[in-house]
């Protein structure tokens, strides 16, 4: 057992990234994730063979990540909604070039400049590609500061394993809260050797290039199909979720991140009133844990999706449920966090 | 028989895709000759742009990454910072560098990134078929300035070398042309100095190369060179705008 330390979510992500071997961070300040950028500055500027650059824009930051990732190092950037929108061009290029990197989105209210309070309105953007063209990110949805740490480390591993950008989709509450975390000893993971594709100068070999395009549609389609195979493999192998009380529940709530924390309180409060509800909490949003939802829909007739959005993840839940159960929705937006009391009231409407 | 002229080692044998009379080919060759002369081909990583020279990765026999339009200096920053022992250059056109990528070029210069920028200014968007560039001259007719560039609504052509010369982190800035042998000799010297600055770890260097685009200017190669000399050079004077003592 390692030592437990009290850390703010945003800083914990930074420490986790460094412990995962990330020495290259490129960012731009935006609330509510700025502590992460500041943490990386504090640590990386004092380290050898490392770089921290406060970029001129989010667009530049993601392109610095693109350049660094091409040389084979672990690189990261982070932002919140409006800044993540700016990064989409670069993320699409990185996905097309099949380079690994980690992008953190500490979500805030939107659309537009929105608010600086927690929200989950970037679900579509994170899970359906986000930028132009056919691609996906591997998307993690942590629900505690400990998970911010563990999943950030996993994100680097999976990004390397699949040569694909990975995203940590947190929110302002997770980024700003303090919790005790432990930086556990991690088992050694077997990761693919990068030396067959990194740009390091062509000494002793043919020159090599990383180009995110092909003007021959048949060749580009081949790349699209190759990427699709990768996403199928990710869907098959990497879906993660947590379930609570789904065996005998009368209603299943599906929620991720901050909302899932609140729902855990709702489950306990409901029990006291004799109401039996369960939770399915997706830990990966892409791949989406559709199997467990489909299986549960065979037994439980009622689902309630709770999000801090107008209803985005509900579309994936409905696809998984596939008409076998009733799927209802409750959402708060703009930076408003739903309370356990109001979620329980909502549950009661359907029982 | 003694071989007196050949293809630089830093160029592949892939034939250029450029139009007859276009200066990209000369510019590529000069960069390649300089990489050869410094013996740095095997540790060079080029960043090629969106535009006519998007295929530069096929022509330069060194490692290359292709950037989104305008982003080459940011990518070069990421490459150089993560691999400081490499030699990094970007190759960018005027739409790329002087329009959509102004933030990236200004701030990479301002950070004094130790990279070399080859900036091709041909006063027009080539690959998309001849639209107005920020460098298009006043009165110049393009697809999107069909009645000539009107500064009242379209602004004046932007002088990137002069602008970047106001930045302290920009160590070497020059403007050259390729319309006659004497200019080409000077251009190569200038490119050499730019890479020398990087090799010495002295910071940001850029060579602006005035170039022709006969296809989109609607001129023959010879007329295009004449047009460049008569119209572009008076507005975009050749010379060194910033130069460190060591390479002067």
Residues in chain B whose Cβ is within 8 Å of chain A: 12, 41-45, 47, 54, 57, 60-68, 71, 74-83, 86, 103-104, 106-107, 111
> Measured between CA atoms, how close is B39 to chain A, in angstroms?
11
- Name the 3-class secondary structure at A168: strand
Answer yes or no: is pLDDT of B248 > 90: no
Which residues of chain B make contact with A41, given a CB cutoff of 8 A?
A: none
Alpha carbon distance A251, A297 (integer Å)? 10
Location of structure tokens 């949003």: A285
Whether A69 contacts chain B with CB within 8 A:
yes
- Name the 3-class secondary structure at A107: strand
- Containing H/E element for B48? strand B44-48
Give the tens place of pLDDT for each residue, A26-43.
999 999 999 999 999 999
User: Hey, are the CB atoms on A51 and B82 less than 8 Å from each other?
Assistant: yes
Whether A207 contacts chain B with CB within 8 A:
yes
Whether A202 contacts chain B with CB within 8 A:
yes
Cα angle B177, B182, B183; round to 5: 10
Answer yes or no: is pLDDT of A2 > 80: no
Residue A47 main-chain phi, psi, to 5 deg: -105, 150
Helical residues (DSSP H) of chain B, grouped into ranges: 24-38, 56-59, 72-82, 94-95, 102-110, 151-154, 160-164, 181-199, 214-217, 221-227, 233-235
Which residues of chain A make contact with B41, given a CB cutoff of 8 A?
A: 202
Span B37-66, average pLDDT = 96
- Percent pLDDT > 70 in chain B is 100
B89: pLDDT confidence band, cut at 50, 70 and 90?
very high
Burial class, B233, CB count within 10 angstroms (exposed 0-12 / middle 13-18 / buried 19+)? middle
A1: pLDDT confidence band, cut at 50, 70 and 90?
low
Please provide the average confidence, as pLDDT, over all residues in chain A: 97
Q: Which CATH class is domain A4-201+215-237?
A: alpha beta
Q: Which of B9, B11, B47, B75 to mutate to test the interface with A (most CBs of A within 10 A)?
A: B75
> Measured between CA atoms, how close is A149 to chain B, in angstroms?
24
* Cβ-contact B97, B207 below 8 angstroms: no
Could you tell me where in chain A the CATH 3.40.50.970 domains are found? 4-201+215-237
Angle between helices B24-38 and B181-199 (to 10 degrees): 50
Answer yes or no: is pLDDT of A116 > 60: yes
A130: pLDDT confidence band, cut at 50, 70 and 90?
very high
Minimum Cα–Cα distance from A202: chain B residue: B42
Q: Which residues contact B157 (CB under 8 A, 6 or more apart)?
A: B123, B134, B135, B136, B137, B138, B149, B235, B236
**Among candidates A65, A89, A201 on the partner chain, residue whose Cβ is nearest the Cβ of B45:** A201
B247: pLDDT confidence band, cut at 50, 70 and 90?
confident
Give the tens place of pLDDT for each residue, B160-216.
999 999 999 999 999 999 999 999 999 999 999 999 999 999 999 999 999 999 999
| C-alpha R_g of chain A | 20
The predicted pLDDT at position A3 comes to: 87
Alpha carbon distance A156, A17 (integer Å)? 8
Answer yes or no: is pLDDT of B28 > 80: yes
**Among candidates B12, B83, B103 on the partner chain, residue whose Cβ is nearest the Cβ of A56:** B103
Q: Are strands A251-254 and A277-282 parallel, antiparallel or unpaired?
A: parallel
Quick count: other Cβ atoms within 10 Å of Cβ A136?
Answer: 22
- Name the 3-class secondary structure at B138: coil
3-class secondary structure for B65-123?
A: EECCCCCHHHHHHHHHHHCCCCEEEEEEEHHHHHHHCHHHHHHHHHCCCCCEEEEEECC
Which residues of chain A make contact with B71, given a CB cutoff of 8 A?
A: 59-60, 63, 66, 89-90
For A227-293, give the DSSP string: HHHHHHHHHHH---EEEES-SS-SEEEE--HHHHHHHHHHHHHHHHTT--EEEEEESEEES--HHHH
Q: Is residue B182 part of a domain?
A: yes
**Among candidates A55, A90, A199 on the partner chain, residue whose Cβ is nearest the Cβ of B45:** A199
Which one-letter DSSP state was computed for residue B60? B
Alpha carbon distance B124, B19 (integer Å)? 14
User: Hey, are the CB atoms on B83 and A71 less than 8 Å from each other?
Assistant: yes
Minimum Cα–Cα distance from A70: chain B residue: B79
* Cβ-contact B106, B78 below 8 angstroms: no
Q: Which of A207, A208, A215 to mutate to test the interface with B (most CBs of B within 10 A)?
A: A207
B1: pLDDT confidence band, cut at 50, 70 and 90?
confident
Which residues of chain B make contact with A68, given a CB cutoff of 8 A?
A: 78-79, 81-82
User: Hey, are the CB atoms on A207 and B63 less than 8 Å from each other?
Assistant: yes
Look up the ipTM and state it: 0.97
* Cβ-contact B103, B76 below 8 angstroms: no
Minimum Cα–Cα distance from A88: chain B residue: B68
> Measured between CA atoms, how close is A56 to chain B, in angstroms?
6
Whether A70 contacts chain B with CB within 8 A:
yes
Q: List beta partners, residue A54.
A: A27
- Name the 3-class secondary structure at B44: strand
User: Hey, are the CB atoms on A63 and B54 less than 8 Å from each other?
Assistant: no
The residue range of the domain holding B86 is 24-242
Span B39-57, average pLDDT = 96
Which residues of chain B make contact with A204, given a CB cutoff of 8 A?
A: 42
Answer yes or no: is pLDDT of A115 > 90: yes
Quick count: other Cβ atoms within 10 Å of Cβ A170?
Answer: 34
Whether A68 contacts chain B with CB within 8 A:
yes
Alpha carbon distance B152, A6 (integer Å)? 60
Cα angle B63, B66, B67; round to 5: 135
Q: How far is CA A8 from the centre of its chain?
A: 18
Q: How many domains does chain B have?
A: 1
User: Domain A241-349 falls in which CATH fold?
Assistant: Rossmann fold (3.40.50)
| C-alpha R_g of chain B | 17
- Percent pLDDT > 70 in chain A is 100
* Phi-psi group of A112: left, alpha or beta (phi > 0 → left; psi -120 to 50 → alpha; rest → beta): left
> Measured between CA atoms, how close is B10 to chain A, in angstroms?
10
Minimum Cα–Cα distance from B46: chain A residue: A209
Give the tens place of pLDDT for each residue, B100-153.
999 999 999 999 999 999 999 999 999 999 999 999 999 999 999 999 999 999
Whether A63 contacts chain B with CB within 8 A:
yes
- Containing H/E element for B241? strand B239-242
Q: What count of residues does chain B have?
A: 248
Minimum Cα–Cα distance from B104: chain A residue: A60
> Measured between CA atoms, how close is B99 to chain A, in angstroms?
15
User: Hey, are the CB atoms on B82 and A213 less than 8 Å from each other?
Assistant: no
Location of structure tokens 């379930």: A243
Span A106-133, average pLDDT = 97
**Among candidates B66, B74, B111 on the partner chain, residue whose Cβ is nearest the Cβ of A210:** B66
* Cβ-contact B97, B70 below 8 angstroms: yes
**Among candidates B66, B68, B111 on the partner chain, residue whose Cβ is nearest the Cβ of A89:** B68
* Phi-psi group of B245: left, alpha or beta (phi > 0 → left; psi -120 to 50 → alpha; rest → beta): alpha
Minimum Cα–Cα distance from A74: chain B residue: B82
The predicted pLDDT at position A40 comes to: 98
The predicted pLDDT at position B195 comes to: 98
**Among candidates A24, A53, A199 on the partner chain, residue whose Cβ is nearest the Cβ of B63:** A199
Q: Which residues of chain A form beta strands (DSSP E)?
A: 4-8, 24-27, 51-54, 75-79, 101-107, 138-140, 165-171, 178-182, 209-210, 241-244, 251-254, 277-282, 284-286, 302-307, 326-331
Alpha carbon distance A53, A57 (integer Å)? 11
Q: Are strands A178-182 and A4-8 parallel, antiparallel or unpaired?
A: antiparallel
Give the tens place of pLDDT for each residue, A223-267.
999 999 999 999 999 999 999 999 989 999 999 999 999 999 999
CATH of the domain at B218: 3.40.50.970
Minimum Cα–Cα distance from A197: chain B residue: B63
Alpha carbon distance B174, B205 (integer Å)? 9
Give the tens place of pLDDT for each residue, A270-280.
999 999 999 99
């Amino acid at each position: 057992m390692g030592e437990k330390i009290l850390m703010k979510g945003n800083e914990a992500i930074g420490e986790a990234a460094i412990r995962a071997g990330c020495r290259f961070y490129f960012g731009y300040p935006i609330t509510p994730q700025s502590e992460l950028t500041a943490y990386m500055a504090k640590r990386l500027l004092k380290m050898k063979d490392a770089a921290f650059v406060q970029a001129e824009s989010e667009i530049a930051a993601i392109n610095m990540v693109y350049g660094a990732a091409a040389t084979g190092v672990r690189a990261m950037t982070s932002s919140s909604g409006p800044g993540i929108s700016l990064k989409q061009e670069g993320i699409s290029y990185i996905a097309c070039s099949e380079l690994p990197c980690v992008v953190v989105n500490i979500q805030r209210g939107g659309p537009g400049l929105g608010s600086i309070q927690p929200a989950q309105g970037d679900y579509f953007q994170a899970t359906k590609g986000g930028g132009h063209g056919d691609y996906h990110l591997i998307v993690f949805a942590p629900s505690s500061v400990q998970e911010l740490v563990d999943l950030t480390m996993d994100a680097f591993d999976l990004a390397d394993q699949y040569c694909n950008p990975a995203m940590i989709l947190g929110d302002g509450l997770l980024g700003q809260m303090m919790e005790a975390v432990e930086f556990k000893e991690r088992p050694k993971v077997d990761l693919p050797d990068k030396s067959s594709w990194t740009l390091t100068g062509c000494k002793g070999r043919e020159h090599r290039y990383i180009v995110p395009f092909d003007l021959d549609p048949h060749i580009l389609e081949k790349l699209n199909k190759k990427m699709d195979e990768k996403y199928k493999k990710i869907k098959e192998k990497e879906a993660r979720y947590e379930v609570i009380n789904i065996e005998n529940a009368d209603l299943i709530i599906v929620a991720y991140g901050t909302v899932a924390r609140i729902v855990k309180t709702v489950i306990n409060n409901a029990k006291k009133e004799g109401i039996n509800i369960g939770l399915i909490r997706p830990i990966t949003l892409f791949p989406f844990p559709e199997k467990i939802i489909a299986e549960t829909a065979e037994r439980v007739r009622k689902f309630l999706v709770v999000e801090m959005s107008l209803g985005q993840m509900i579309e994936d839940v409905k696809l998984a449920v596939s008409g076998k159960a009733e799927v209802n929705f409750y959402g708060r937006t703009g930076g408003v966090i739903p309370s356990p009391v109001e979620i329980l009231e909502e549950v009661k409407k359907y029982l | 028989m003694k071989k007196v002229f050949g293809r630089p080692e830093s160029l592949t044998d892939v034939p250029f895709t450029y139009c007859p009379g276009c200066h990209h080919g000369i510019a590529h060759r000069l960069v390649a000759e300089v990489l050869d002369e410094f013996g740095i081909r095997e540790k060079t990583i080029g960043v090629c742009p969106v535009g006519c020279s998007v295929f530069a990765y096929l022509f330069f026999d060194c490692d290359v990454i292709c950037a989104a339009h305008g982003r080459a200096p940011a990518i070069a920053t990421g490459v150089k910072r993560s691999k400081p022992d490499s030699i990094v250059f970007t190759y960018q056109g005027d739409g790329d560098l002087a329009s959509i990528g102004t933030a990236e070029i200004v701030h990479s210069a301002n950070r004094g990134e130790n990279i070399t920028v080859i900036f091709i200014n041909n006063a027009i968007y080539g690959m998309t078929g001849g639209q107005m560039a920020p460098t298009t001259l006043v009165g110049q007719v393009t697809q999107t300035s069909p009645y000539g560039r009107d500064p009242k609504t379209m602004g004046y052509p932007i002088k990137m070398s002069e602008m970047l010369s106001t930045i302290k982190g920009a160590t070497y800035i020059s403007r050259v042309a390729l319309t006659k042998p004497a200019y080409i000799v000077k251009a190569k010297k200038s490119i050499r100095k730019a890479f020398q600055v990087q090799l010495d770890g002295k910071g940001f260097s850029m060579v602006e190369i005035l170039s022709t685009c006969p296809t989109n200017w609607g001129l023959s190669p010879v007329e295009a060179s004449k047009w460049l000399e008569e119209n572009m050079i008076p507005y975009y004077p050749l010379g060194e705008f910033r130069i460190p003592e060591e390479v002067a």
